[in-house]
Structure 1
Amino acid sequence: MDAAAGSADAPLLLLAVSSLVILTAIQSRRRRVLRGAPSPPSLPLLGHLHLLGYPLHRALASLAVAQGRPGVSAAAPVLSLRLGARRALLVSAHAAAVECFTERDAALAGRPRLLARGVLGYGCTDILWASYGDHWWTLRRFFSAELLSASRLAARAADRRAEVAALVDNLLRDATDGATPLMMVTLRPRLFEFVINVMLRALIGVSLHGSDAARWQEIVEESVRLNAAPSVGDLYPALRWAILQGGTGTSMLTIEWAMAQLLLHPEAMKKVRAEIDTHVRTARLVEESDIASLPYLQCVVKETLRLRPVGPIIPAHEAMEDCTVGGFHVRWGTMILVNAWAIQRDPAAAWDAPDEFMPERFLDDGGKVTTAAAVPMLPFGVGRRRCPAEAMAMRLVSSMVAALVQCFEWDVGEGRTIDMTEGGGLSMPMATPLAAVCRPREFVKSMLSAST
């Protein structure tokens, strides 16, 4: 009887063992499928906050390099971080960034609700920080159709041209008011007035000057500084008091960085000026329509955007659902931090001498400017949340740099140097605003008189 009972229990035992083996295999496979990105050692409560520093983009780049695999990659393409109570995925490789904003674009199109963004972004309802959904799509369509479409930009070209001419005229007047046509110029306030007036003309048809423009600059820079700053409440949702950091990031900063690079590389400035003198000559002010005929100028702007991106960390995305990036599991609610600064200096991403200012790198063998798809850059982001104002920004930066080089001789000044230190915050201004000696070229006064 015992033998009969044993033989009767054998199938049940075999079934139990088989089920256990299958269940173990499934769980093991699921663990492999849900494997998260590698993560550095963390501390209780702080997570990885102790590994961060100023400037943030450099600290994150160093962290990625420290976690890279020798002989495989200089920097870890993706890292899993814990910033206080928040999960974050740090992306430091171009391929991983493209995957985030193409294949995983819909899953990662959310925005984290951060304290300063909620206050300054009207409860996270503006186009930059609005949650992905119907409201964001309505804003996107409005901006794309009513303000930033090709037809709208073309219709406002005369306004932008007038503001370029106004800045040149103001510089000319200030330079010629003195005993000699030489003047030390701090560019940032003048560039801010130029950019804000272009925006105001497009929105409400008015412009600001003098003290009004200066006051607006204070308001905008303070707002951007606060908007760029994380708070304790962002990292520990139970707490709601802020620790603010500095920073600002607008088109004026890119123009300022471009002029600083040209001052440090006078041969590059001579090439830009010679190109403009050849194609535009000196009878009129360079215009937006001329930019297509100025390939070296285009390369200077591209190289500035690569080397000195004023948005070194792409505005944070948030995972709206579980997904994978680079083969690693990303949980819903994870904040996505893409380090554009690191990607655009990555020697493994087809950049020769990545820390050097070399505009020629964007020219192909035929002397034509390489297309955006051919280079691992993302200064305006990628995917559906790519900056909608990219076309306007490129027009503003290119036309203003061209006008400053066309109309004035620039010099650092005797015994002076340019401080290329990067400012703090999530944007990347020059820590010390650029100041340089400005001397009008002989034809500028007559050129402006003929154009009015």
Structure 2
Amino acid sequence: MADKNGPIFTIKLGVRRALVVSNIGTIKECLTTNDKAFATRQSSESYFLGSNVLQQHHACRLDKLKHVRESEIKLSVQELYQHRNKSKTIGSDKVLIKMKRWFWDLTLNVILRMTIGKRIPSFGNDEESRFVVSDALPFLRWVDIGGDKRAMKKVGEDLDRFAEGWLEEHKRRKSSGQFKGGEDFMDVMLSNLKDEGDHHTDTINKATCLVVNELDIHVGNNRLVEESDMKNLVYLQAVIKETMRLYPAAPLSLIHAATEDCRVSGYQVAAGTWLITNLYKLHGDPGIWSDPEEFRPERFMTTHKHVDVKGQNFELVPFSSGRRMCPGVSFALQVLHLTVANLLHQFDFATPLDEAVDMRQGPALTIFKATPLEVLITPRLPASVYDTSS
């Protein structure tokens, strides 16, 4: 539609009018000049079923929880190593792993460890985001077409039951003197679960398909990767930026909504209009990126070496920008870099038939691989390194 209608156009989504922008100048204008006007989200059915408070992931708080983040990633990778040892067969050192499920469990456990100080071996079923009819046609909300509202209510009830049990335990530990400040922040658990769950799983999934070989130089083979190593892993950082450019978590940004009338590129935009950023078009703009469809991490070490993903460079905004950008961007990047680095450092990967990894995308509101990533893993470090990773 952007090719046909240009870098800025409006469409009707049910009774809602949406402004779709896809070029760097217009996106920057919306998220800087008109940042205040677009500093709210549209209300959706899921909005009414859970907490609307999105706590900011302050840098100081994340730094204090660094040990929790590192230990959970090390523990999850160690469990992967132990699973491989239990599952390997005579005559083969390789074990087939379904990475999507492992990524989901890791992401959830990092969040739970940071919010309530607990972890669980597995949680929930694989679900994908989908369009809810009543978001675009509010007058049909009472009909509950497709059963989405009923399903979300059930999920909400399950979360409430889990959260209530964890909260009661949290209170008992505090009253008995067992609680230690700084271990978790129960008050933002639901916000973290809401924001971080699906968002990072598939981005990490794709990033592990990319080969990074500088780890042996800067880390060696006798210890595990730590967050302090990241500053030296410049090619790894470039690989992850390029992965986010080609495969953002979603082809369209989360919807902003105008709280007041404003002007964008000379056009009048009425209050209540949705703002949708076309990330797919922006990140593939040949006017910004040479050979935009090619995977070229080196661009972030040469022509785009000063570009990052934290919302200040509008040619690359996988987490959006402005007042309502993703509040978990720092958390996401820390977990993503440390997870990918540890996986590539500790294991060799191969596909079952040595075929190329299928990078086709499935149809959904979030971008995911059309075929789940299944790989054969083989440890590449001395056994003693894995034994000390807990």
With the shorter chain as reference, the TM-score category is: 0.7 to 0.9
* Offset from partner CA, 1:184-228 (integer Å, 9 cap, x none): 11111111111111111111100111xxx1xx242xx54x62xx4
Counterpart-to-counterpart distance in 1, 2:78 and 2:240: 23
TM-score of the two chains, using structure 1 as the length reference: 0.70
Aligned match of 2:257: 318
User: Once the two structures are superposed, what CA deviation does each residue of 1:91-138 show, in whole Å capped at 9, x if it has no partner?
Assistant: 11121111111110111122222234333xx2xx514xxxxxxxxxxx
Query: 2:371 aligned with 1:425, yes or no?
Result: no
Moved more, 173-182 or 100-109: 173-182
Q: Is the CA contact 1:319–1:334 (under 8 Å) kept in the aligned structure 2?
A: yes
In structure 2, the residue matched to 1:126 is 52
1:351 equivalenced with 2:254 (yes/no): no
| Aligned residue in 1 for 2:132 | 230
Alpha-carbon distance between aligned partners in 2 of 1:370 and 1:105, rounded to the nearest angstrom? 21
C-alpha distance in structure 2 between counterparts of 1:383 and 1:341, whole Å: 19
* Matches for 1:285-296 after TM superposition, within 5 Å: 285-296=224-235
State the shift of 1:90 in Å: 0.8
Query: Structure 1 residue 170: deviation in Å?
Result: 1.8
Of the candidates 181, 198, 220, which is equivalent to residue 93 of structure 2?
181
Corresponding residue for 2:157?
none
The residue aligned with 1:167 is: 76
Offset of residue 449 of structure 1: 2.4
* Structure 1 equivalent of residue 334 of structure 2: 395
How many Å apart are 1:375 and its aligned residue?
Answer: 6.2
Alignment partner, residue 20 of structure 2: 90
Match of 2:61 among 152, 165, 168: 152
Whether the 8 Å contact between 1:340 and 1:378 is mirrored in structure 2 is: yes
**Aligned partner letter, 1:434:** L
CA displacement, residues 322-353 of structure 1 (integer Å, 9 cap, x when unaligned)? 111111111111111111122111112x1011
Q: Which amino acid aligns with 2:17?
A: R
Gaps of 5+ in 2: 149-196
| Structure 1: runs of 5 or more not aligned | 1-62, 68-75, 128-138, 263-268
Between the two structures, name the one with larger relative contact order (CA 8 Å, sep ≥ 6). 2
Change (3 A) 1:437 1:108: same
Shift of 1:371: 4.3
Report if the CA contact (8 A) 1:86-1:235 is conserved.
yes
Q: 1:384 to 1:405 in 2, by over 3 A?
A: same
What is the number of equivalent residue pairs in this alignment?
335
Structure possessing the higher radius of gyration over alpha carbons: 1
Q: Deviations over 1:374-397 (max 9, x none)?
A: 561111111000111101100111
Which residue is equivalent to 1:239?
140
Describe the superposition over 1:231-256 as per-residue Cα deviations: whole angstroms up to 9, x where unpaired. 1x2323322233589xx832121110
